[in-house]
Amino acid sequence: MKAKLTLHKEFSIGETDKRLFGSFIEHLGRAVYTGIYEPGHPDADGSGFRNDVASLVKELNVSVIRYPGGNFVSGYNWENGVGPIEQRPMRLDLAWGTKESNRFGTNEFAAWAKKVNAEVMMAVNLGTQGADAARNLVEYCNFPGGSFYSDLRRSHGIDKPHGIKLWCLGNEMDGPWQICSRTADEYGRAAVEAAKVMKWTDPSIELVACGSSFSGMPTFGDWERTVLDHLYDHADHISLHTYFANRDNDVPNFLARSLEMDRFIKTVAGICDLVKVKKNSKKTLHLSFDEWNVWYHSNEADKKIEKWTEAPPLLEDIYTMADALVAGCMLITLLKNADRVKIACLAQLVNVIAPIMTEKGGGSWRQTIFYPFMDVSRYGRGTVLRCPVTVDKYDSKEFCDVPYLEAVGVHNPEKNELTIFAVNRNLNEAIQLEAEMSGFGDIRIIEHRVLQNSDLDACNSVSQEKVKPVVHTAGTAEGGKIEENQLTVSLPPASWNVIRLVLV
Ligand code: AHR
């Protein structure tokens, strides 16, 4: 199969925000305990943070990490997670039916985030708590000293404020599963009052309002419009969440799901702009896609988990080659919407629907989805270019006109690099790609990284990496060649591709 794409240096969609390459750690399952934090593990540092896991997080080059939830945050009293560890209470986590020891809390997370070179994105509890606890947490984290909560932080041994810039006003407050969920008007009112006192405490912070839990919610659309009627002037971003599944083992349909993600983004952007017009506002609201991933493999196993245990193995999806392709399509979709989506978090980071897995007391390893994220996070920063593609299309069970090739280009002027990310959705045929590149001067191929396995169910494990990138260099069909600024390269069937080019 043949495909053509065109890239021109001047035809840009927008710049990537560094927070587009984020992830998420929730107090859920083994994300924290025996994930990032395991005192006594042979590879743990003096604070109990696992060095092997920290190295893998750094490999992913994660820019921002959302914490502490997710559903967990709507029942979390942050005050339980600070101060002397031995005095912290064991609490019931009603979101996931587990026990929370609070041995790890705000200060431990801020220290860990620093260790992995990531910024913190903190969520406040707008379920069981509200404006008062939220402003106290901002004061605890960000005020230098000389007030009750900033001095409390200092008494806990943290002299300098954490300086957390990004705050979520609750989590999925439209969902009936959420602890103290609300109607859009109830949430909008509560969130406005929380937003005011949080920004009065620290005017430099940015706030993320809760959008719908996913685009299939019965209130989707009305929720955003009503919430923004209240919050437009106070919030800086609105959240979107999406998890995809392949329950009926229909891979072509599964691979097309990113079209739904694109539609979701454009619809929410449209609603934001409608409210902007209504309010006669000069401000454009940005989107925070702060939960995205594949999630379904662990659904049955999770039903068998014993309740009220500490750090049980919840949501431990083992990802396949097909899942990595879907993650790749989702990443390309985020890049293509970089003008509007400024924050995105792969949910989650360790053990819980995660690119990184650990064994308690043992090793750690990279799942299949690790690689597309790492590639985009390493090579996808810069100016995203419009990328018109000519290729055959297919119809699947739920989607029409699905292009066999999903692709985008990113120009990084600082590094003098141009990178093409591409997924070949054709399960049987390679795509012979011709890419016409203008305005860049002379171009050379650095490498073509390919993630492929003819078994779409292939997974990785602690002992074997069946799905990992193979690197091709120029000259071969897979490595590609450039003649007069036209790249020709072969993209294997059902593959994730990163074509790295240098401008000379
Ligand atoms: O990421 C797992 C859960 O998915 C989060 O806790 C919640 O926000 C979403 O429903």
Confidence of residue 242 (pLDDT cuts 50, 70, 90): very high
Amino acid, res. 321: M
Segment 54-78 shows an average pLDDT of 98
Query: For tokens 């690119």, what's the residue?
Result: 355
Atom of ligand 1 minimally distant from the CA of 291: 1
Confidence of residue 276 (pLDDT cuts 50, 70, 90): very high
User: Cα–Cα distance between 330 and 12 in angstroms, integer?
Assistant: 19
Question: 424 C-alpha vs ligand 1 centroid, how far in Å?
Answer: 29
Atom of ligand 1 minimally distant from the CA of 28: 6
Given a cut of 90, whether residue 482 has pLDDT beyond it is yes
* Spacing of C-alpha 264 from chain mean position: 16
Cross-strand partners of 366: 356
The confidence score (pLDDT) of residue 258 equals: 98
Instruction: Burial-class residue 270 by CB neighbours within 10 Å (0-12, 13-18, 19+).
Output: exposed
What is the C-alpha R_g of the chain?
A: 23
What's the CA dihedral at 162, 167, 169, 174 to 10 degrees?
-120
Instruction: Burial-class residue 407 by CB neighbours within 10 Å (0-12, 13-18, 19+).
Output: buried
- Note whether 238 and 268 are within 8 A (CB): yes
CA angle 336, 340, 344 (to 5 degrees): 75
pLDDT in tens, 66-77: 999 999 999 999
Question: 95 C-alpha vs ligand 1 centroid, how far in Å?
Answer: 10
The confidence score (pLDDT) of residue 130 equals: 98
Confidence of residue 402 (pLDDT cuts 50, 70, 90): very high
pLDDT in tens, 434-462: 999 999 999 999 999 999 999 999 999 99
User: Cα–Cα distance between 425 and 251 in angstroms, integer?
Assistant: 9
Amino acid, res. 14: G
59 is a catalytic site residue: no
Given a cut of 90, whether residue 161 has pLDDT beyond it is yes
The confidence score (pLDDT) of residue 226 equals: 98
Length of the chain: 504
User: Cα–Cα distance between 176 and 324 in angstroms, integer?
Assistant: 30
Neighbours of 490 (CB within 10 A): 19
Beta pairing class for 12-15 and 383-385: antiparallel
User: Cα–Cα distance between 36 and 58 in angstroms, integer?
Assistant: 12
* Spacing of C-alpha 305 from chain mean position: 26
> CA 70 → CA 125, 290, 297, 343, distances in Å?
10, 10, 19, 16
pLDDT in tens, 212-230: 999 999 999 999 999 999 9
| Mutation to probe ligand 1, out of 177, 291, 298 (largest number of atoms < 8 A from CB) | 291
Q: Which residue has its alpha carbon closest to ligand 1 atom 9?
A: 70
Instruction: Burial-class residue 190 by CB neighbours within 10 Å (0-12, 13-18, 19+).
Output: buried
359 is a catalytic site residue: no
Given a cut of 90, whether residue 478 has pLDDT beyond it is no
Given a cut of 90, whether residue 260 has pLDDT beyond it is yes
pLDDT in tens, 6-26: 999 999 999 999 999 999 999
The confidence score (pLDDT) of residue 476 equals: 84
HSE value, Cβ hemisphere, 13 Å, CA-based, for 478: 17
Whose CA is closest to 123, among 137, 111, 107?
137
Q: Which two tokens stand for residue 406?
A: 């999903």
Q: The whole model's pTM is what?
A: 0.98
Name the CATH architecture for the domain at 2-9+384-503: Sandwich (2.60)
Question: 123 C-alpha vs ligand 1 centroid, how far in Å?
Answer: 13
Sheet holding 495-503, edge to edge: 12-15, 383-385, 405-412, 417-424, 495-503, 443-451, 470-472
Beta pairing class for 417-424 and 495-503: antiparallel
* Spacing of C-alpha 500 from chain mean position: 23
pLDDT in tens, 377-401: 999 999 999 999 999 999 999 999 9
- Note whether 365 and 440 are within 8 A (CB): no
Alpha helices (H) along 232-362: 251-255, 258-278, 299-303, 321-336
The backbone torsions φ and ψ at residue 439, rounded to the nearest 5 degrees and listed phi first, read 90, 0
Given a cut of 90, whether residue 487 has pLDDT beyond it is yes
Cross-strand partners of 419: 410, 500
Q: Which residues line ligand 1 (CB under 6 A)?
A: 26, 69-71, 171-172, 213, 291, 347-348
* Spacing of C-alpha 222 from chain mean position: 25
Amino acid, res. 17: D
Question: 71 C-alpha vs ligand 1 centroid, how far in Å?
Answer: 6
17-379 maps to CATH 3.10.330.10: no
The confidence score (pLDDT) of residue 475 equals: 79
The confidence score (pLDDT) of residue 305 equals: 97
**Any idea where the domains of the chain sit in the sequence?**
2-9+384-503, 17-379
Given a cut of 90, whether residue 323 has pLDDT beyond it is yes
Given a cut of 90, whether residue 346 has pLDDT beyond it is yes
Mean pLDDT score of the chain: 97
Alpha helices (H) along 41-147: 51-60, 106-115, 131-142
Query: For tokens 């927070």, what's the residue?
Result: 19
The confidence score (pLDDT) of residue 474 equals: 84
Instruction: Burial-class residue 70 by CB neighbours within 10 Å (0-12, 13-18, 19+).
Output: buried
User: Cα–Cα distance between 86 and 503 in angstroms, integer?
Assistant: 57
Given a cut of 90, whether residue 477 has pLDDT beyond it is no
The residue annotated as part of the active site, out of 79, 291, 316, 417, is 291
